[in-house]
Amino acid sequence: MIVVQNLIDAISLGSVYALAALGIGLIFSIMRLINFAHGELIMVGGFVIYALAGNPMLVMALSAIIVVTILALGMERLAFRPLRKASPPTLLIASFAVSYFVQHVILMIFGSRPMGVDFLSVLGESFEFAGLRVPRLQCIAIVVTLALMVGLVVFFRASRIGVQMRAAAEDFTMARLLGVKADRVIAVAFALSGILASFVSLYLVAQTGTVSYKMGVNMVLIAFVASVIGGMGSLTGAALGGFIVGIVSVSLQAYLPEELRPYRDAFVFLLFIAFLLWRPQGLLVRRASERV
């Protein structure tokens, strides 16, 4: 029974990591940018919920989704579009700059202390199912993640812009030669990454009940690790990586000797280093395609 309980924990944590990793992977696959400012999208979503505390839950959630999506589009327009032709290291450093900028704006407005928010705390309660105690939030996290993933798959397969984005991810120049609008596919990618980030915000705030200007940092690091494990550039890989990191984290939490548990993350990253030595290109990465 304890094994099943741990498995539920692992899958729900993994599904949130997968959402965060998909946001990172989506932007990377289109424009070879590792967007560390993705964590700040998650963080700002948290602060939108904090600022709207007391309003109906749906208003808080929808506002977070809308504001974060607009912020993602703004980052692209103001910071990353002018650098579109820059090298990946330049883009990476620009994403750190955006990340610190957003963090410090929030720091200036709200201060550095973590603050409590009452958001969906009713979901913290558990229900009994076949002898298992399942927190509602975990169940909802799994269901919402799966729904978002199915939505993404349908979007990428069935919509014209989705197919254009897959083409652009494989060979951006060729896609443009066929008339695919570079500005549009990149903007849509950022909007999608914003939506994914805002759902991570909802989960984090509901689960921890606090917001802080640093709350996105750890998540973006884990999301980055997850997308590297899956293979940078592969969205399926990013999602898979998220679940793997979730399962490993929960397993370490459950099965490490008690005195080592506080250092769980050290073991997670140790395993990550070992993984990279074994398979540096990630689990699902395709051969890099030649570009025009």
Helices (H), the chain: 2-31, 38-51, 57-75, 88-110, 136-158, 160-170, 172-177, 182-208, 215-230, 235-255, 264-278
Quote the least distance from Cβ 157 to other proteins, whole Å: 9
Nearest to 165 by CA among 1, 28, 21: 28
Give burial (CB, 10 Å; 0-12/13-18/19+) of 246: buried
Nearer to other proteins, 65 or 175 (CB): 175
Nearer to other proteins, 170 or 253 (CB): 170
Asked if 289 touches other proteins (CB under 8 A), the answer is yes
**Which of 77, 81, 166, 264 forms a contact with other proteins (CB under 8 A)?**
166
Quote the least distance from Cβ 237 to other proteins, whole Å: 13
Quote the least distance from Cβ 180 to other proteins, whole Å: 5
Quote the least distance from Cβ 155 to other proteins, whole Å: 14
> Could you tell me whether strands 115-116 and 126-129 are parallel, antiparallel, or unpaired per DSSP bridges?
unpaired
Looking at residue 52, the DSSP 8-state letter turns out to be T
Report the amino acid identity of residue 159: S
Quote the least distance from Cβ 140 to other proteins, whole Å: 33
Quote the least distance from Cβ 78 to other proteins, whole Å: 20
Distance between CA atoms of residues 126 and 146, nearest Å: 21
Coil, strand or helix: which one is 6?
Answer: helix
Choices 7-15, 107-115, 164-172, 263-271 (CB under 8 A): range interacting with other proteins: 164-172
Quote the least distance from Cβ 168 to other proteins, whole Å: 9
Quote the least distance from Cβ 287 to other proteins, whole Å: 9
**Segment 170 to 189, residues that bind other proteins, using CB under 8 A:** 170-171, 173-182
**Which of 35, 103, 164, 201 forms a contact with other proteins (CB under 8 A)?**
164
Q: How far apart are the first and last CA of the chain?
A: 55
**Which of 128, 258, 259, 290 forms a contact with other proteins (CB under 8 A)?**
290
Sequential DSSP letters for 227-258: HHHH-TT-HHHHHHHHHHHHHHHHHHHHHS-G
Find out whether 253 and 261 touch, Cβ atoms under 8 Å: yes
Asked if 163 touches other proteins (CB under 8 A), the answer is yes
Q: What number of chain residues touch other proteins (CB under 8 A)?
A: 21
Nearer to other proteins, 14 or 162 (CB): 162
Nearer to other proteins, 15 or 164 (CB): 164
Asked if 292 touches other proteins (CB under 8 A), the answer is yes
What is the CA angle 115-224-230, rounded to 5?
A: 135
Coil, strand or helix: which one is 116?
Answer: strand
Nearer to other proteins, 67 or 175 (CB): 175
**Segment 141 to 160, residues that bind other proteins, using CB under 8 A:** 160
Give burial (CB, 10 Å; 0-12/13-18/19+) of 166: middle
Residues that bind other proteins (CB under 8 A): 160, 163-164, 166-167, 170-171, 173-182, 286, 289-290, 292
